[in-house]
Amino acid sequence: MIKPLFWQKDQLFIVDQTLLPVKYKRIEIKNHLDMADAIKRLAIRGAPAIGIAAAFGLVLGLKPFTNASQDSFFSKLAEISDILRNTRPTAVNLSWALRRMKNLAQSLRDAPVPLIWERLSNEAQQIHQEDIDMCLRIAKNGQSLIPRNAGILTHCNTGGLATGGLGTALGIIITAHKSGKNIHVFVDETRPLLQGSRLTAWELMQENVPFTLIADNMAAYIMLSGKTDAVIVGADRIAASGDAANKIGTYGLAVLAKYHKVPFYIAAPSSTIDPSISSGKEIIIEGRSGTEVREIFGVKIAPEDCPAISPAFDVTPNSLITAIITEQQVFRPPYSFK
């Protein structure tokens, strides 16, 4: 099973995803500032994965303060949580994991500080394991929707690298393949940062799943050709209405799928559902540097300093989503997650 991070004897190592597929390299994350930097520069990414990463980042940041006073420890906890929470605004798993860690610490307010830190360390490991277990259940729930012979189009990266392990949308695809189904995947390259061509293609090769890499603007052609039986993508935040934020380009795929009568599925853990927002209009969309559009890995592909935008996500309205697959169940319209 491909995993994005590894906790070993109070040390954390992550796979630097900015180096893939050219190089697989684990780097050590020594403190919360290292983790904040890794999340910002997408060395670790994917909504579930950055939630797990934030929990471990909090543990690492607090490690030097295990002999501090209660007040100093909790002041540092609040400071570190804010730094980690502000790294990426769209994915709800990040704030969810930090809130869970803070609530645990508050419940232990009168305990010795070293014990609180140890319990937080155990909680981060538990969050990691729970996500792996959720991915396995998502895969089980989702593969029943996949025909025996199926062409599946996916966008961005939703495999083990984006989660605790196995993946959400990609986990369903891999599990269906391993169950004996005849699966062929069409992998969107996912401009501007190419998570599809760099990461999803790499993961599918490790799992020996048949696939074809396509440019994002080929999706309509593939659907029109009749080669697509389903579109399966992940999500970074799902509103109470079922509107879902995912990697930029997802909304366009959903529109195309609706026109071509292709089922459009979202796969995500229940921690991605944010009941505090009623619709996708309330989801904050992360805006990244236009340089990501003007350049590919430092190579200029547009006139220098020409105007460019790089929204990291878009929101797909619930009316375009056939079903939302979680570890709990497969939800269908009208969406209610109670």
C-alpha span between 235 and 295 (Å, rounded): 26
C-alpha span between 124 and 116 (Å, rounded): 12
Domain boundaries, the chain: 5-136, 145-331
Please state which CATH class domain 145-331 belongs to: alpha beta
| Cis-peptide into 21, omega within 30 deg | yes
Side chain identity at 286, as an amino acid letter? E
Instruction: Specify the CATH superfamily of domain 5-136.
Output: translation initiation factor eif-2b, domain 1 (1.20.120.420)
> What's the pLDDT at 32?
98
> What's the pLDDT at 235?
98
- Six-digit token string for 246: 């995912």
User: What's the pLDDT band for 187 if we cut at 50, 70, 90?
Assistant: very high
> What's the pLDDT at 143?
92
Query: Does pLDDT of 295 surpass 80?
Result: yes
Query: Does pLDDT of 338 surpass 80?
Result: no
Q: What pTM was estimated for this model as a whole? A: 0.95
The catalytic position among 16, 236, 243, 314 is 236
Cα-Cα-Cα-Cα torsion 287, 42, 292, 309, nearest 10 degrees, comes to: -10
> What's the pLDDT at 33?
98
Same fold, 5-136 and 145-331: no
**Percent of the chain scored above 70 by pLDDT?**
100
Residue with the bigger pLDDT between 91 and 30: it is: 30
> What's the pLDDT at 91?
86
16 labelled catalytic:
no
> What's the pLDDT at 12?
98
The predicted-structure confidence for 86-118, as pLDDT tens digits, reads as follows 999 998 999 999 999 999 999 999 999 999 999
C-alpha closest to that of 283 among 309, 254, 255, 313 = 313
